[in-house]
Amino acid sequence: MVNCARLSENWFEWSNLARLGNVSVSTDCDDCEIVFDSSDYSVHLRNDGTWWIIDTVNDRGQRHNGTAKLSTFELTEKYLIWNWASSARGVVGAPRLGAQLYSLGVSPDAEVNPITEGVAEVRSSNGSGILMEPYATIFSHLMSKSVDEIERMVKKGLE
């Protein structure tokens, strides 16, 4: 089992900022390694031996399996922290950060290859992911950053 402490701290921080109710984290889930839960939205994180797979459940209880797949836990942390922080920033009216990264196109340190309409594989020296667009393009800029750097980026302007 990987250490999910940092990811759990980020879940509590960003879900509380986004005003989600009944926020919790549990490793007691039949179909995943860890679930980041709330009454409004949840993320089930599982590993199939090749990919870290993110499944989401919306506020209506509809589960969407495989909304993102990442080759390493570190990339999964980066992706989820960015995703949760971006949503929370939107709730509190802070400037969104993804649009600026998307406007730059694909990072020169990565490549993005379409798989199906709206879904792409993003690859860098740090690993790979299968993500929906525009997240693949945005995430191409984040893959080479450390988790610390991403945490600093998403907190900027919230102090």
- Listed residue (153, 156, 102, 109) closest to 128, CA to CA: 109
With vertex at residue 129, the alpha carbon angle to CA 67 and CA 149, rounded to the nearest 5 degrees, is: 105
Query: pLDDT tens digits for 100-123?
Result: 999 999 999 999 999 999 999 999
pLDDT band for 159, please (50, 70, 90 cuts).
Answer: low
Q: Is the pLDDT of residue 28 over 90?
A: no
Contact 130, 69 (CB under 8 A): yes
Task: Summarize the confidence of residues 94-98 as an average pLDDT.
Answer: 89
pLDDT at 1 over 70: no
| For residues 137-156, average pLDDT | 96
Distance CA 41, CA 156 (A): 24
> Of residues 1 and 119, which shows the higher confidence score?
119
Domain ranges of the chain: 5-155
Q: What is the mean pLDDT of residues 12-40?
A: 93
Q: Which residues fall within 8 angstroms of residue 119, CB to CB, at 6 or more apart?
A: 130, 131, 132, 133, 136
d(CA 6, CA 148): 10
What pLDDT score was predicted for residue 3? Answer: 87
Residue 96 is predicted with a pLDDT of: 85
| pLDDT digits 0-9 by tens, 52-87 | 999 999 989 899 999 999 999 999 999 999 999 999
Predicted pLDDT at 130: 98
Percent over 90 (pLDDT), the chain: 87
